[in-house]
Structure 1
Amino acid sequence: MSETQVIIGNQNATRCFYLPTAPKLAQHWLSDNVDAIPTLIAENGNHWRKIFTIMAKLSVKDNNWKHYRDTQLLKQDECIVIQASKLMPKAQQHFICGQQSAQSLSFDTSGFTSLCGSEDYISVNNELSIYLCPYLDYRQFPNKHIDNLRLKMGLLPIG
């Protein structure tokens, strides 16, 4: 484990998002607080609202991602790992977000296939349920890519 690794959310989560930088966390902030995500968004701004929105869209079973983002995200089924050096052992799905996160994990991309051809920047290792994704920003990871990945995961598109 990296000395600078930070885990936000449930360490035993089934879905893990690997990101290069952490949001600012208030000293007494806890992921299981009722207003945990709205508090982080208020503290960290629109950039983190977008990150949490994409995470919610990839996590929610139905299409009510706004409610999920604001009330459930990071409480049970998800965690964020910042500057990870290895995958979380209990996670069943791994979303490696951006090149910096993949480099931090020293990830070997053999065994990965492109999700939807060369225009899509998402690669998948079906055997290990690992998704190499763009950074969680709408310019790099638009709804079209989110819907493609949701379909791959057996979920209906949000749109």
Structure 2
Amino acid sequence: MEMTSGFGCNNFNFAVYIANKPNMREYQDITQVSPLNKGEIHAIGQACGNGWRKVFNVYAKLLYALNTKDFAYSSLAPSWQMYRDNYLFQTNSKTALLFSPPQLNENTDTLHIICGKTYAKQLIASDKLKTHLVWLDDEFAIDTSQKLIICPYFDYRQLSNVKIDKLAFMLSELKNA
């Protein structure tokens, strides 16, 4: 069993899984879930480029788009940018960006999102993901019992604002299932 590793709160209940990690020496051997400090998201974006800025921005935009009756993230800051800079992946944020395969458990309230259809298919092919997915269309799949959604990669072109809204709706449905 692989250790869970990535950025965020150790006690997360909202997890996004991504195939790669920032190309910075300090993150290559990460073996646990570690909270980021204020300013660290900006530093990663500066060092690693626009791709990582998009991942962080789309993650924050998604949290901010969630229904406030089901999720309180947007109540913490007046904008998704301020949420990203002051709360995302920090201690007690309940959010995580994980570089390890999902450890799914039907007896938890944690919501799981795999970032990208290609990554999800790699996990399934390598037997690192055991799930009963229902493909809703060419881009989104869901396993309600494991509270898992597959969605497009966190990039503005692949996960547009319209698709962020669709994913936000799906997450509320999944949380209340």
Q: Is the 8 A contact 1:19 1:80 kept in 2?
A: yes
1:48 paired with 2:52, answer yes
2:103 alignment counterpart: 87
Tell me the amino acid that sits aligned with residue 11 of structure 2.
N
1:2 paired with 2:17, answer no
- d(CA) in 1 for partners of 2:164, 2:94: 18
- d(CA) in 2 for partners of 1:100, 1:148: 20
- SS of corresponding position for 2:21: coil
Shift in Å, 1:123: 1.5
Q: Which runs of 5+ in 1 are unaligned?
A: none
Give RMSD over aligned pairs. 2.8
Shift in Å, 1:6: 3.5
Q: Is the 8 A contact 1:83 1:104 kept in 2?
A: no
Counting only pairs closer than 5 Å after superposition, residues 12-91 of structure 1 correspond to structure 2 as 12-25=11-24, 27=26, 31-60=35-64, 61-62=73-74, 64-75=79-90, 76-84=93-101, 86-87=102-103
Shift in Å, 1:131: 0.8
- d(CA) in 1 for partners of 2:139, 2:130: 16
Q: Which runs of 5+ in 2 are unaligned?
A: 28-33, 65-72
The structure-2 alpha-carbon separation of the partners of 1:126 and 1:93, relative to structure 1 and needing over 3 Å to count, comes to same
Shift in Å, 1:39: 1.5
Pairs aligned (count): 148
Which structure shows the higher helix fraction? 2
Q: Is the 8 A contact 2:10 2:35 kept in 1?
A: no
Tell me the amino acid that sits aligned with residue 50 of structure 1.
K
Identity, % of aligned positions: 27
TM-score (norm 1): 0.76
Q: Is the 8 A contact 1:9 1:80 kept in 2?
A: yes
- d(CA) in 2 for partners of 1:58, 1:152: 11
- d(CA) in 1 for partners of 2:158, 2:52: 14
1:104 alignment counterpart: 123
Tell me the amino acid that sits aligned with residue 57 of structure 2.
T
Give a deviation string over 1:52-85, Cα, whole Å, max 9, x none. 111112223438211111111111221122142x
TM-score (norm 2): 0.70
The structure-2 alpha-carbon separation of the partners of 1:138 and 1:101, relative to structure 1 and needing over 3 Å to count, comes to same
1:121 alignment counterpart: 139
